[in-house]
Amino acid sequence: MSATERYLQGSELTILEGGTVIPCTEPDLLFSDAAIAVEGGRITAVGHRPDVLARVAAAGARRVDLQGGFVIPGLWDSHIHLGAYVPPHEQAFSHETPGHHMIRCVRKMQDNLRCGITSLRSLGEDNDADLLLRDAVEAGEIEGPRIFAAGDIMWSRTAAGADDFRRHVRRAIARGVDQIKLLSSGGIPWRSDTIGHTLHSYEEIAAAAQEAHRWAKPLAVHAMGDETIIAAAKAGADTIEHGFVATEKGIAAMAAAGTMYCPNLTVTIAWDPALLAAKGYPEWFTANAAEAAARHHEMFREAVRLAIPILAGVDDLPEGDGPVGIEMHDGQIGLIAELKLIRAGGMTPGQALLTATKNAALAARSQGSSAPSSRASMPTSSSWPATRWTTLTGLPT
């Protein structure tokens, strides 16, 4: 934990000043010559320095000089699996012990924290490992980011019928999940003639949504194509994950329902069909990757045009020596790659930042910006982070 982090978690009033604050409460808002007042781990005031000093009892407060740096809220990865593995690593890791799986989960969550990613929306984990780590972090037993956990979600591959969905959702809530996640369609690593196949009926998704919302839990739906996306949006899903083979119809359904969209744009770049074929992947696998990539980024631009709320989430990437540590793409942190692709898809720098801050907090039903009463977790950068994303990789720990 850095010295600044210790200040932020202390009970005494701390004022951070002498920099620029990007609060991520609305697009492109920033405060130059800013100050942030933090007390008891909570932000009590943020804005232009004279205004903040006028609102708090600054006499006797601890003062921290930001030295002209930029401050943003801690970033979110809105689609992470702490211990998952994907091809080409599944053979090497498919027989690992639960203990080794937990070691990889710890490594990945802590790597994210050390890169300024202070909140994780965990959307499925074997052995409910994300629930255990969430509670350990909250109890101060281990250092890590805040985790919003879905626990083990594999029940959703085999559950059948609305009553069965309600039963499983209740069991998940009893285990203490923060959100419900459904695997409602195919995917790139799953053998089929199209990744757009729907696994769940409208009635099943609606039953899960109704039960989750009765307990104030959001519902995330893994949905690749229009049939699943339209059913999930109409059924009341809070977020659609992936949407790799969506068309204008699926995008329009999300817009009409007010559904948030986590597109995982880096996945369809990293899973390059030509590269997969050259490495000897099966023909069905490369065909799935090609289907996913064909219109994904084009349809993301349509989602931006329709002002659908976007979430920045990385998911699992096939790069590196194995599924150990933070996800990387082309030599850069996966979330940074995702934010760059979001920006390239038509969002302003400020809008792109919101996908990894405010929007993510809304999806998790949490407080997660630099607004007053938010929890204090704030990476700093020596330059404007929305135009030089890579500066975040050099954050001090």
User: For residues 257 and 277, what is the distance between their CA atoms, to the nearest angstrom?
Assistant: 39
Residues 40, 176 within the same domain: no
Q: What's the pLDDT tens digit per position in 344-373?
A: 999 999 999 999 999 999 999 875 555 555
Residues 40, 148 within the same domain: no
* pLDDT (0 to 100) of residue 393: 37
Residues 31, 162 within the same domain: no
149 contacts 105 by C-beta, under 8 angstroms: no
Residue 382 scores a pLDDT above 90: no
Residue 93 scores a pLDDT above 90: no
Residues 345, 328 within the same domain: yes
Q: What's the pLDDT tens digit per position in 184-204?
A: 999 998 888 899 999 999 999
* pLDDT (0 to 100) of residue 244: 98
User: For residues 178 and 390, what is the distance between their CA atoms, to the nearest angstrom?
Assistant: 31
Residues 41, 83 within the same domain: no
User: For residues 274 and 289, what is the distance between their CA atoms, to the nearest angstrom?
Assistant: 9
Residues 142, 227 within the same domain: yes
Residues in Cβ contact with 114 at an 8 Å cutoff, skipping those fewer than 6 apart: 395, 397
Residues 79, 127 within the same domain: yes
- Tokens standing for residue 27: 């697009």
Residue 267: phi and psi, rounded to 5, are -60, -45
Share of the chain above pLDDT 70, in %: 89
Q: What's the pLDDT tens digit per position in 12-42?
A: 899 999 999 999 999 989 999 999 999 888 8
Residues 239, 382 within the same domain: no
* pLDDT (0 to 100) of residue 385: 55
Residues 57, 154 within the same domain: no
Residues 123, 218 within the same domain: yes
Q: What's the pLDDT tens digit per position in 95-118?
A: 899 999 999 999 999 999 999 999
DSSP codes joined into one string, 69-107: -EE-PPEEEEEE-TT---TTSHHHHTT--HHHHHHHHHH
Residue 7 scores a pLDDT above 90: no
71 contacts 21 by C-beta, under 8 angstroms: yes
Q: What's the pLDDT tens digit per position in 282-325?
A: 899 999 999 999 999 999 999 999 999 999 999 999 887 678 89
Q: What is the mean pLDDT of residues 64-71?
A: 90
**Mean pLDDT, the chain, integer:** 90
**Interior angle at CA 320, CA 102 and CA 382, nearest 5:** 90
Q: What is the mean pLDDT of residues 366-390?
A: 54
* pLDDT (0 to 100) of residue 205: 98
* pLDDT (0 to 100) of residue 208: 98
* pLDDT (0 to 100) of residue 3: 47
CATH of the domain at 92: 3.20.20.140
* pLDDT (0 to 100) of residue 247: 98
First to last CA, the chain: 7
Residues 101, 239 within the same domain: yes
Q: What's the pLDDT tens digit per position in 208-248?
A: 999 999 999 999 999 999 999 999 999 999 999 999 999 99
Tell me the pLDDT band of 271, cut-offs 50, 70 and 90: very high
Residues 182, 207 within the same domain: yes
Q: What's the domain range around 275?
A: 75-364
CATH of the domain at 65: 2.30.40.10
Number of domains making up the chain:
2
